[in-house]
Chains A and B, each alone.
Chain A
Amino acid sequence: QSALTQPRSVSGSPGQSVTISCTGTSSDVGTYNYVSWYQQRPGKAPKLMISDVTQRPSGVPDRFSGSKSGNTASLTVSGLQAEDEADYYCCSYAGSYTWVFGGGTKLTVL
């Protein structure tokens, strides 16, 4: 499978909202409601922020939200805080018990 497509970078000022897109195909994002999002800080492992397109695990701030339309999923971070600065990756189930990931988006808090 080809990697999911994400913008290389997004930025916003504290308190603003930013949205990161994740575009796949009808073989992954478009078919399955198993899209997840991860936050990764330098030298650390990815941390699950959103699962099943919209579900926030316990402990993840409600400033993080997910959605999907067609072959594109999105992660929105509202009320940006300095601590949100990190790399963000999307992931979709791609059938046959495999996953496909995005190339990553660097979120900068100005």
Chain B
Amino acid sequence: DIQMTQSPSTLSASVGDRVTITCRASQSVSNWLAWYQQKPGQAPKLLIYRASSLKSGVPSRFSGSGSGTEFTLTISTLQPDDFATYYCQQYDTYVTFGQGTKVEIK
């Protein structure tokens, strides 16, 4: 199994901050990496696929980078609607998710 490890587990930030979440894979997943946002009581929503491709309709303040084993999700200017939990997911070999990073209000 490919293990996905996110850091930090919780992140306290203010509206307007630049936020970066890291995801590390236990072995290379090339660029087969997606990021999701989940709010309480809702299903995860796809933000980014293939490590850096923004899904249509997702605000441009979200960006992804990385390849191989290390990836980042960046929110350039945090908005009130962005307080949520974020998950990375590899789909190179089967599919596995990270444990999540909760972005909370500071």
Genuine A/B complex: no
- Residues of A at the B interface (CB closer than 8 Å) are none
